[in-house]
Every structure is written in structure tokens, then in C-alpha cells.
A and B are shown apart, each in its own frame.
Chain A
Amino acid sequence: MSAEVFSLFYQFADVFAFLILSAAGLAIVFGMMGVINMAHGEFIMCGAYVTVGLVNLGVPLAIAQILAAVTAGLIGVLVEFLVVRRFYKRPLDSLLATWGLSLIVTQSMLLIVGSAVRGIGTPEGSFAIGDYTFSTYRLVLFGCAVAVLAGLYIIFMKTRFGVIARATMQNAAMAKALGARTGRIYAISFGIGTGLAGLCGALYAPTMTLIPTMGATFVVESFVTVVIGGANVLLGTAPAAVFLAMIRMALNASYGQIIGQIGMLVAVIVIIRVLPEGLSSVLVRRGR
């Protein structure tokens, strides 16, 4: 019996980790600047490629993954400086600009590195409970997702940077008037967002085939999680992921991945009709 319960938890944890890891970066950037980074998938791809490249050079997996996340974060800061910075007053244009960037990166990668790269294989290791065996790495991913949530909580709620960042999120003009360097806050947040995207790519690199278009595999999940989460991403993202993971898990188990994805999308479309502001609006109202 406990094996079945654990199996259910395992499936939930798998989907939950995927949703949180793929959406966290996008959510931070959106919550901070009201900007959706359409090149999010390409930062995920970047993280995956750097990881695999480093591992093939002989770097241990965990270190390669951290370096990949850092690389994606630094590239993100650069992109913020060169492109995104110009569009804070025009969020829709930043959507288009980053989409243009995403097209350029994906297709250039296809031109330069070709369609497939030698993968590195999922780290071995499994354990058995009852009649079921489980991959350890999937639980590591779940642990990482929880760690990312905890890390974000600490950064945004317990540090000086977090206080200023939340002030900027709430009212950028006021924060600026009080002396916060909002430009720098934006750059750092964008870097954190893309760094988390890179981390997502790095963590999933061993489990999937590396192709330049792999970013597209993550974007639907990250988009819908952010949409359901609503404007207050610090509050909304985790419950949104829990909610979507439940639906996804139930449908995946009985009908397979693609029906799971369709069901998730339908749920999202129905939810936005009922709760246009997302889950966080309900939570905020409760809190008052």
C-alpha cells in the first residue's frame, strides 16, 4: 500500500519539479518587470548545452550544472543590458524583441552545431519500494525544485536586495525616488531569471535529447504556470505548480503525456475565465 502512495507522490513530484524548474525563471522576470521573456526556452537550451559540453570535457556533472546556470545568468544580464532595458515602458515590445532573439539563437544553433549533440545519459541509480523501482535522479530534481523555491523565498523575503526588489516590483518610481537603483535591480533579477532557466536546462540535460529547439518543450509548461500564478509571482507560482501538477499527474497516469498537456491547457483556459487575476489574487485576498 505504501508503495502505491509513494508511487503517486513520485509522479506528482516529477511533474511538480518540471513545472517549478521551468517556470521559476520566467516568473521572476515577469513578476519583477512585467515582461515575458520569450527567449526563456533558449536560456534553458543554453544551460543544457553548457552542461553537456562541460561534462564531455570531463567536468563532474554537478559542477557543470552550476557553471551552466551561472553562464546563462551572465548572458541574461548582458541581454538585459543590450535589449530588454530599452523596453521597460513597452512590455509588449519586449515580448517581440525577445522572440526575435529566440528565433535568431535557435536557428543559429541549428546552423552552427547541427541538429543533435552527443548526450550524457541520466545518472544511474534507482531504489525500490515494494514492487516499484524509482529513479533517484527524478527525486534529486524534486529536491532541486524545492530548493529553488526556498532559495527564492530567502532571497526575496530575507535579504536587503529582496526588500528593495519587492519595493521595485510594487512601485518602481517610488523605489527609485527613495534611492533604489532600479536599473541594477532589474538587471540582477533578469539575470536570476535566466540563471534559473539555465539551471532548468542543466538539470534536465541528462534526461533528454539535446536539440537546439528543445526550449519549446519547456515553454508551454512555464507559460501556463505563470499565467495561473498571476501577478504576484512570489505567492502564486508554487500553488499554481501544485494545482497543475495534480491535473497533469491524473491525466498522464490514465491517458499519457499529450492528453496530460492538453488537459492542463484546458484547465488553464477555464481557470482564467473564473480567476482572471490568477491564483495569487485569491491568496492575496485571503491574506487581508
Chain B
Amino acid sequence: MFKLLEGPQTLGRGKKFWLCFVAVLAGALSYPLFADSYGVGNFAYFLIWIFMALGLCLMWGYGGMLSFGQTLFFGIAGYGYGVLAINMGGGTATIAALALSVVLAMIAAGILGYFMIWGGINGIFFGIVTLSATLVLAFFLGQTAGPEWHIGPARLNGFNGMKGMDPLTVGDFYVEGSALYYVMVALIVIVYLALRMLVNSGIGNVIVATRENPQRAEMLGYDVRKYQLLTFVIGSGLAGLSGALYTSWGQFITPSSIGLPAAAMPIVWVAFSGRSDLTATLVGSFLLLFGFQTITVYSQQAALVLMGALLLATVMLAPQGFVLGIGKLAAGWWGGRGPSDAGASLTETARLQSKES
């Protein structure tokens, strides 16, 4: 099973890569030892968004489905966590609220995905329909200011957003500060490794085959719609995980984290990083979030202008993504030879053939 951690669909293999991985992980784990609590909280905040980016990377880079709806599911799970945590009364129940809210986002993704994928919507329209749904949710939540908009004791509060839910709690222990940071790091390691295994598995190969040519994949006997729906649900579920963690982190959520320009952010991170690889997305998204946060302190608008410029520059200059390009260069320089695409697709073909027989 662990053999699937490296394979044709992911960059990085061999001892050197995993040594780097362990070194970065060790750095991340020891960070709270020498940083102040503000810095740790900030880092935990960047890590929240990584799940959303990885989910989009899976859908867009591997599955070829450009979803603009990451913040839709972020919002569903974020508000879901708030409503559930308030209604279930905090305490250890918040863990259940977290899990349930992610399930809620996945169910919503399943319903929306069913209509789009079985209706044969793809390419540009996939993006437009998901974005429309996102904006409508943001508009809807924006006008829920009145006291009549409540679910149990949880008020939705319109543009001001929902607040008053408990953070993640185990017994009497609030998962905050460096505890939350360690939870985030652990979750990211789990999600990252699990996604690596998924995309290198047989299912992952079908997902990539569908991206390359849906008709061919269908002719080979796969019901590509099921694989697309699976990809969409997992990717959107990861956005939901981000949303629930976000609400738990700050104990509030507002419609502005769903609508524009928030909806464009995951696209910028993943496009800039290089959508076709999980590691590139992980590294690139973290760097962008770090940079964005640094500039936002001075001017949020300027930071967003920069994000727009980065997106434009990425598409015009390096459509495959900057971080991925640099990563490939570095790998080629270090390892003597880069992981060539031809080799990767050959192994892919071999794997598919062995599976068929």
C-alpha cells in the first residue's frame, strides 16, 4: 500500500525526496518551540487553506474539472460547523460537528456534481455553474441579517457573519494555539499522503485517463461519470474541511469568505503552484498565503491586485504553474535528470495494462 506513495502521477520519489519531506515536517513540528503564540496562530491560519488547495488540485490538475466552487463547500461546511456546534452545545461534540459539517459539504457536492456530471457539463461551463452557485449562496447568506434567520439558537447574522460557536474541544481542553497547529500539521500530512496514494492507485489512473480523454477512458470500460463524481466529492469535501476548521479557528464566518474575491483565491494558489502536482500545490499555496498575509496587513486591496496579477502572469508566462516549473528544474539539476513526462506516461500505460490483464 505504501508503494503507492510514489508513482507516475506525483513528483518526488526516492530517498532524497522523502528526506526533504521529513526535514520539512521536522521543521514544521519544532516551529512552535521557538516561535511566539501569534506566529503559531498565524501559521495555523495558513494551513487551514491548504486542504482547499489540495482538493482543487485533485479536481482540476488530476481530474481536469475546473471547479470555481471551492468556497461554496468551504461556506457550507463553515456555516455547518457553526450551526452544529451551537446546537449540539460545544464540548467534545464539536469534533462530531466538524465531521458532520464536512459530510454535509460532501453531500452538497454529490448533489450538485450529479446534475452537472450526468448532464455532461464540462470545461468552461463547469466553472461557471459552480461559481454561480457559490455567488448565490454568498448573496443568500448576505441577506440573512434579520432575527428570523436562525437554525435553532444559531443566528446567521447576514453580512456580519455567524459567531459564538465553540472552537474544537476535547473534554475541557480547547484545541487552540499550538495544539490546533499540531492538529493542522497532522491533518495535512494525512491528507497529503492519502491523496498521493489515491492518485497513484488504480482509481487515480482512471481519473487521470478521464482528464486526458474522457471518451477513451469510457471505451476502456470505465464509467467516467462515477470517477468524476468521486473526484468532485473528495475535492469539495477537502474545501469543506478547510471551512469547518476556519470557523473553529476564528469562531466566526462571514459570507465574504464565500463570495468574490474569496472564490478566486484557490484558483490563484493552485494555478500559480502548478495544478498537476500535489507537492507543488502544497508548497506554492503555503508560500502564496504567507505572502498574501504579509501584504494584507498593509492593504488588502493591494494584496488582491497582486493575486490577480499573479494569476494573469501565470497563465501568460507559465501555464503549468511557477512552483512546478521551478521544482522540475531543481529536480533535474539535483538528480541529474528530471522526471520526464514521457517516462511517466509510459509507466502509466504499463500500469493500466497490467490492471486490465
> Which residues of A line the B interface, CB within 8 A?
34-36, 83, 86-87, 90-93, 95-97, 99-108, 110-111, 213, 216, 219-220, 223-224, 226-227, 258, 261-262, 265, 268-270, 272-274, 276
Residues of A within 8 A of B66 (CB): 92, 95
Q: Which 9 A-B pairs have the closest CB atoms?
A: A103-B308, A100-B311, A100-B312, A104-B308, A276-B120, A273-B119, A107-B304, A272-B119, A107-B301
In the complex, are the beta carbons of B308 and A101 less than 8 A apart? yes
Which chain B residues (96-126) contact chain A, with CB distance < 8 Å? 112, 114-116, 118-121, 123-125
- Taken together as a complex, chains A and B put the C-alpha atoms of A92 and B319 apart, in Å, by 11
Q: From residue B156, how far is it (CB to closest CB) to chain A in Å?
A: 13
Residue of B nearest to A91 (CB): B124
Give 21 CB contacts A-B under 8 Å: A34-B124, A35-B124, A36-B124, A93-B319, A100-B268, A100-B309, A100-B310, A103-B264, A103-B308, A106-B304, A107-B301, A108-B301, A111-B301, A111-B305, A223-B132, A227-B128, A227-B132, A258-B140, A269-B115, A269-B133, A276-B121
Interface of A is mostly: helix
Q: From residue B296, how far is it (CB to closest CB) to chain A in Å?
A: 12
In the complex, are the beta carbons of B260 and A86 less than 8 A apart? no
Q: From residue A55, how far is it (CB to closest CB) to chain B in Å?
A: 26
Within 8 Å of chain A (Cβ to Cβ): is B302?
Answer: yes
Q: From residue A224, how far is it (CB to closest CB) to chain B in Å?
A: 6
In the complex, are the beta carbons of A272 and B264 less than 8 A apart? no
> Which residues of B line the A interface, CB within 8 A?
66, 112, 114-116, 118-121, 123-125, 127-129, 131-133, 135-136, 139-140, 143, 259-261, 264, 267-268, 271, 299, 301-302, 304-305, 307-316, 319
Q: From residue A234, how far is it (CB to closest CB) to chain B in Å?
A: 18
Residue of B nearest to A256 (CB): B143
- Taken together as a complex, chains A and B put the C-alpha atoms of A107 and B314 apart, in Å, by 19
- Taken together as a complex, chains A and B put the C-alpha atoms of A191 and B247 apart, in Å, by 43
In the complex, are the beta carbons of B305 and A103 less than 8 A apart? yes
Q: From residue B215, how far is it (CB to closest CB) to chain A in Å?
A: 15
Q: From residue B4, how far is it (CB to closest CB) to chain A in Å?
A: 29
- Taken together as a complex, chains A and B put the C-alpha atoms of A165 and B302 apart, in Å, by 40
Q: From residue B262, how far is it (CB to closest CB) to chain A in Å?
A: 11
- Taken together as a complex, chains A and B put the C-alpha atoms of A104 and B316 apart, in Å, by 15
In the complex, are the beta carbons of B132 and A104 less than 8 A apart? no
In the complex, are the beta carbons of B124 and A95 less than 8 A apart? yes
Q: From residue B79, how far is it (CB to closest CB) to chain A in Å?
A: 15
Also in contact, A86 and B316, with CB within 8 A (given A99-B267, A100-B308, A104-B308): yes
Q: Which of A93, A104, A261 contacts B315 (CB 8 A)?
A: A93
Q: From residue B291, how far is it (CB to closest CB) to chain A in Å?
A: 15
Q: Which of A90, A92, A224, A273 contacts B132 (CB 8 A)?
A: A224
Q: From residue A10, how far is it (CB to closest CB) to chain B in Å?
A: 24
In the complex, are the beta carbons of B118 and A273 less than 8 A apart? yes
In the complex, are the beta carbons of A258 and B308 less than 8 A apart? no
Residues of B within 8 A of A276 (CB): 119-121
Residues of A within 8 A of B118 (CB): 273
Q: Which of B124, B140, B261 contacts A262 (CB 8 A)?
A: B140
Also in contact, A96 and B129, with CB within 8 A (given A111-B299, A273-B115): no
- Taken together as a complex, chains A and B put the C-alpha atoms of A111 and B299 apart, in Å, by 9
For B132, B135, B271, B311, the residue with the greatest tally of chain A CB atoms inside 10 Å of its CB is B132
- Taken together as a complex, chains A and B put the C-alpha atoms of A35 and B127 apart, in Å, by 12
Q: Which of A91, A104, A268 contacts B309 (CB 8 A)?
A: A104
